Each structure stands twice: as C-alpha cells, then as structure tokens.
Amino acid sequence: MSEQTATWFNHYDARPEVEVPAESPLAWSYHKSGRPAVSQKSRVVLRERAMLGHLILRGGAIVLDEAVRGVLGFGLPGRPNTLTQDEGGERSIQWLSPDEWLLIVPGGEEFALEGRLREALGDARDTSVKNYAIVNVSGGQTLLELEGEMARELLMKSTPYDVHPDAFPVGKGVTTVFAKANLILRRTGEERWELVLRRSFADFCYRWILDAGSEYAIGVER
C-alpha cells in the first residue's frame, strides 16, 4: 500500500447547508399503522428519538479513551456490554466489541464531533498512534425508547435475552434479536429501555411493539 493511499480518508458533511427535507424512519409507519395516544391507562410509552448522531469508533481502547475524554469529558465503557453517558444523558458510548464502540449524540453534532476526535487522535501516519476508524452511520440507524412499568414484560415477549434486573441491570447494553430483527438493547433507567436499530427495521419493530404492547394500552409520545 502506498503512503498516499495509507494516509488518505474521506470526511463528508452528513448535514450540508442545502435544505434537504429529512423524515423520521417511522413517518410512513405513523400514517399506515397509526400512533396511539398516551393515556392514563398506558403502562408502556414508546418514544422515537430519530435523527440522532451515530458514530462507530474502532481502534485501541487506550488511545480512543484518551481522545474521547478530552473531547466529551467522559470515557469509553470499562466493561463489555455496558455503556457510559454524560451527566445529562444526551450523549452515550456503547461497547460493541473489544475494539468497537457506538457513540450517540444529539443530531447535528456528529460531523463537528468527528472532526474534533480526528484532531485529538492525531495523524494516523504517526507510528505512535494505533490505527483507528470513525464511521458516521447516522443515516442508517435510529433509536426507539420504551418506558413504563410493563416495558420489561413487553421485551420478554420480544427477545430471547434475559431481561431480568439481576441479569440486565441499568447501564447494560447488548446486541441481540428483537422479534426477527438484530439490534442493540440498552437499559438506561429502572423502567426505561432503548432499542438502537437499523433504519430499514424501524417499521417492522414499530408494528411489532404496537401489537405486543396493546394489552398494556401502549401509547406513542409525540
């Protein structure tokens, strides 16, 4: 591999200044399947957190942790299948594998953040810096949030993974199967769970959740 090839990378602005209308991955789902309102009887509430920034980080844990701490003020998860968050809970880092993490930030931050991380990591040509990769996957993923006293029961009908509090404490996140879709399941509160999934699975999972949550009078928060 030539030196020129080894040191070159693409850095695209995923949110250009040109006004391009953006739609939620569930825009058609709301029209086709409905959007039940939250009521006093709702024991599960579904929220869509669309258009967030999703960055995949790959590389050595020590090098990436130093860069992330310097830019965001908190570091990578120290244990497998866990996540770390900032004080406000708006930004999180999810462990995916020994050298891979998912960083989720408010929509619009991801492009500038990628640049700051690359600057903090330094020149990849420097032999003192281990190889790393930062990939913006914001356009291909979305996040659904389930909250309520029966959220865990809904999940028990949807995934083979053990979601009992002893096996799935707050702060844990795993890659698992939900219905027939692969996704990341995270527990961010005592009664709050997050599903990080591919955009193409959003409609399927939405309809599944509405069906599985019907007995709990599930409502979709607007």
CATH label of the domain that carries residue 85: 3.30.1360.120
> Is 3 within a domain?
no
Count of domains forming the chain = 1
CB count, 10 Å around CB of 222?
9
Q: For residue 127, what pLDDT is reported?
A: 54
Q: How far is CA 138 from CA 104, 171, 206, in A?
A: 9, 22, 19
* Banded model confidence at residue 1, pLDDT cuts 50, 70, 90: very low
- pTM here is 0.86
The whole-angstrom separation of Cα 1 and Cα 208 is: 48
Per residue in 14-53, pLDDT tens? 666 777 677 899 999 999 999 999 999 999 999 999 999 9
Per residue in 146-203, pLDDT tens? 999 999 999 999 999 999 999 999 999 999 999 999 999 999 999 999 999 999 999 9
Q: For residue 21, what pLDDT is reported?
A: 75
Domain that holds residue 139: 26-220
Q: For residue 168, what pLDDT is reported?
A: 98
For the chain, counts of helices (H) and of strands (E) = 6, 11
> Is 19 within a domain?
no
> Is 7 within a domain?
no
> Is 17 within a domain?
no
> Is 1 within a domain?
no
